[in-house]
Amino acid sequence: MALTPRERWKQAQSVIPGGVNSPVRAMRAVGLDEPLFIDSGQGAYFTTADGERYLDWVQSWGPLIFGHADPEVVAAVQAAAAKGTTFGAATQLEVDLAAELVDAVPSLEKVRLVSSGTEAAMSAVRLARGATRRDRIIKFAGNYHGHADALLVSAGSGLATLGIPSSPGVPSGAAADTIVVPYNDITAVAEAVARYGEGLAAILVEPVAGNMGVVPPEPGFLDALRKLCTASGALLVFDEVITGFRVARGGAQERFGVTPDLTILGKIVGGGLPLAAFGGRAELMDQLAPAGAIYQAGTLSGNPLATAAGLTVVRRLRDPGVYAELERKGARLEAGLREATAGHEISLTRVGAMSTLFFNPGPVRNWTEVATSDTERYAALFRHLLSRGIYIAPSQFEATMLSTAHSDADIDRTVEAVAEFLGD
Ligand SMILES: *Cc1c(COP(=O)(O)O)cnc(C)c1O
């Protein structure tokens, strides 16, 4: 017998902490009584366990660049599954996917496959520390690199400060080597490098911030990071888990023409299955075991289902027509929203196929500015759109993820629903 939404949510909460396997899924920030439970997806749409169909602007937070249940991905995963789901030994598919990533992303000479963005970021930090024989890292307030201890850190007070744990369970020792500075503030980074440069292993950055809502890099920001790293001997690490294969085939490093030492990939590269990667120059990557001494491993790393899905997707992203289409549709959404939101205290940001509507008069250049957004108003917009069959991110501080499956009609309908909300 089918459960009511209330019963289902009650059962979920009784056996899963908070009822969900990742906090944002509880949809608390937008004030829902029960979060959506999804049953199936097709293209730009998903259907809930209660049979309601929604236009989906989240797309699993980014992996689904071709939309849900893409037929080629489904066929590739089915074929791979029939041949065995995991071996814990080398397969040709892993080599093929690695070769595809190396071909696409400018900074990659070698790449290692892992199972989540968190794991990739954690491993990249270990590699950076091992290769430089230094411990400190710099990260930016409002950037997210998964939940490894050293990266789950908030800023103290002041411009460039040693980090403090942002969650219970993160030892102060793990946070103390992480310096947190404001995004887009090159003066603060330069000050931190001047103070801690000798012991600095890496600067980690989302080259387009996506985890505080979309905040593009200011002109010259990424370039300045590159120069500060080169001068201090720290490694520049681009976390392209969202931007990789989204803002260009070669990610933000291709789009902005700045080459990092190490790159973290995830989301799109797994084609909707659990797969992520980190890579860089051969001389750095060859310091990983078994070629080198820095340890890193995984039972399900390079899993056959995930590599089959990822390969299907990234091969199709060789076609520049896909990025032309995403840019055209992204521009259509942006233009529509600019018209609909004119005269309101709203800032729109977009880089290619990622964008955010902030209830904020702007500017929105860093976490301090973004954090002043009217989250109540955002929650009201979320609920209004949901009532019109449109699902946007259940938090102000997330990105809208365009896919090729979103049609012009989907875009126009979304713009109209936003205009309707603002007209109330
Ligand atoms: C999603 C994300 C991660 C974490 O990836 P998971 O697969 O959720 O562990 C890391 N960095 C960025 C920029 C992300 O958007």
* Nearest one of 126, 223, 133, 144 to 180, comparing CA atoms: 144
The whole-number pLDDT of residue 156 equals: 65
Active site residues: 144, 239, 267
Instruction: With a cut of 50, list the residues of the chain below it in pLDDT.
Output: none
| Ligand 1 environment, Cβ below 6 A | 116-118, 121, 144-146, 206, 210-211, 239, 241-242, 266, 276
How far does the centroid of ligand 1 lie from the alpha carbon of residue 121, in Å? Answer: 8
Domain residue limits, the chain = 5-65+320-422, 71-316
The whole-number pLDDT of residue 159 equals: 55
Architecture per CATH, domain 5-65+320-422, reads as Alpha-Beta Complex (3.90)
How far does the centroid of ligand 1 lie from the alpha carbon of residue 409, in Å? Answer: 30
The whole-number pLDDT of residue 257 equals: 98
> Given this structure, which CATH class describes domain 71-316?
alpha beta
The whole-number pLDDT of residue 161 equals: 64
Structure confidence by residue, pLDDT tens digits, 76-86: 999 999 999 99
For ligand 1, atom 8, the nearest C-alpha belongs to 117
Whether pTM exceeds 0.85: yes
The whole-number pLDDT of residue 33 equals: 87
How far does the centroid of ligand 1 lie from the alpha carbon of residue 373, in Å? Answer: 23
Mutation pick for ligand 1 pocket among 267, 269, 401 (CB with most ligand atoms within 8 Å): 267
